[in-house]
Amino acid sequence: MQMAEDLASVQSSVSRLDAAAILLMSLGEADAAQILKHMGPKEVHRVGSSMANLTNITQDQVESVMLEFLEEVGRQTGMGIGSDDYIKNMLNEALGEDKASSLIDRILVGGNTSGLDSLKWMEGRAVAEVIRYEHPQIQAIVVSYLESDQAAEVLGILDEKVRLDVMMRVASLDSIQPQALQELNLILEKQFSGAASASASKIGGVKCAADIMNFMDTAIEGDLMDNIREIDADLGNEIEELMFVFDNLKEVDDRGIQTLLREVSSEVLIVALKGADIDLQEKIFTNMSKRASELLRDDLEAKGPVKVSEVEAAQKDILTIARRLSDSGEIILGGSGEEMI
C-alpha cells in the first residue's frame, strides 16, 4: 500500500509532457520512431525538446511512468545510450533525414532551419512574421505549403485585408514550377531542403482553401467566407461544399464514429454536444454502450450553460482528431460535397 502511494506521489510530480518523453526514451529507438510517425510537427517538437531537457530522472519516476503507460517497458529501456545520439537516430528513422535535420538543429543545438519544410516546424506567429511583408502571391504559396491547422493560425494573425487576398490566391493556385520554389527560398534567404524536381509541384487549390478554413477560428472563418462570396460567389460556395464541419459527423458510418469516440475525452464531448443538433446527439448515443450513453445523457442534462466559443473550440478539437484518423485511413469523412476528405 505504501509503495503504491509513493509511486502515485512520484507520478504526480512528472508532467504529462515529461512522462511522454520518459516513455519514448525508454522504448528504444525503433519503437519510439514508430510512435513519432503518427505525431504532428508541433507534437514532435514539444516531446523532442522535453527529451533533450530531461535531467536527473530517478528510477521511481521511470517506474511510475512505466506503470501508467506500459507494464513491461522496463525490458526495452533505452536510457543507457547517449540522449543526443538517441534523439538523432530516432527522429531520422521517424521523419526521414530532411525533416529530422532541421528539427534536430532546433532541439539540440538551437541552429536555424532552412527551406520551406522548416516553416512547418515553426510557430504560426513566427511564420506570419517571416512572410508579413512579402508579396501576397508569395504568402499564398507559403500558406498552401503548410499544414492546414498551421496555415489557419498564420492567416488568423495577418491583417484582415491581407487574409482575404491570400485566401483568394490560395484557392486559385494549382501548381508551381520548381524554379519558382527555388526563387522563393532565395527570397526567404534560406536554402530549399528538397531538391527541385523535373515536374511542377501540386499546391493550393479550392480543397486546400477549404481545409485551411476548417481550422480557422469560427468568427474569422465566417467573416472571411462572407468576403470571398462578395468577390466570387461561386468560389465561396465551392469552398463551403468541400469544408467538413461538426454537423457532417452525421454522415460518418457507425464504425467510424465508434473509432472517433475512443479518441475523444468525455469532457470535450459533453461541451461539443451542447451545440449539436438532436440527430447528431442521437448518432453519438447509439454508438456507445447503454451504460456510457446513459451517463453521457445525464452529464449533458446536468451541464450548465456553456459559452458558444467553448462549444466551437470543443467541436474543432474533435474535428482535428477526426481528420487525423481520416488521414491514417482509420475512418472515412464525407463533407457536404461529393469529394471525400
As a whole number of angstroms, the distance between CA 79 and CA 54 comes to 11
What is the DSSP secondary structure assignment for residue 263, as one 8-state letter?
T
In DSSP notation, 183-219 reads HHHHHTTS--SSPPPSSPEE---HHHHHHHHHTS-HH
Which parts of 198-277 are beta strand (E)?
Answer: 201-202
**Among candidates 218, 213, 145, which has minimal Cα distance to 175?**
145
Report the Cα 177 to chain-centroid distance in Å. Answer: 28
- Beta carbons of 113 and 106 less than 8 angstroms apart: yes
pLDDT of residue 157: 92
As a whole number of angstroms, the distance between CA 265 and CA 254 comes to 18
As a whole number of angstroms, the distance between CA 27 and CA 273 comes to 37
Fold: same for 124-242 and 246-327: yes
Query: CB neighbours (10 Å) of residue 154?
Result: 28
175: which strand partners? 202
With helix as H, strand as E and coil as C, how does 219-279 read? Answer: HHHHHHHHHHHHHCHHHHHHHHHHCCCHHHHHHCCHHHHHHHHCCCCHHHHHHHHCCCCHH
Which parts of the chain are beta strand (E)?
Answer: 175-176, 201-202
pLDDT of residue 93: 75
pLDDT of residue 164: 93
CA angle 309, 315, 320 (to 5 degrees): 125
Question: 246-327 in CATH: which number?
Answer: 1.10.220.30
Q: What are the boundaries of each domain within the chain? A: 2-111, 124-242, 246-327
As a whole number of angstroms, the distance between CA 263 and CA 335 comes to 21
* Residues 6 or more apart in contact with residue 4 via CB below 8 angstroms: none
- Beta carbons of 123 and 150 less than 8 angstroms apart: no
* Residues 6 or more apart in contact with residue 62 via CB below 8 angstroms: 22, 26, 74, 77, 79
pLDDT along the chain (341 residues), means of 10: 42 68 80 78 78 79 70 44 64 68 53 58 82 86 85 90 91 76 62 39 78 81 89 88 82 90 90 89 92 90 87 87 81 53 33
| CATH architecture group of domain 124-242 | Orthogonal Bundle (1.10)
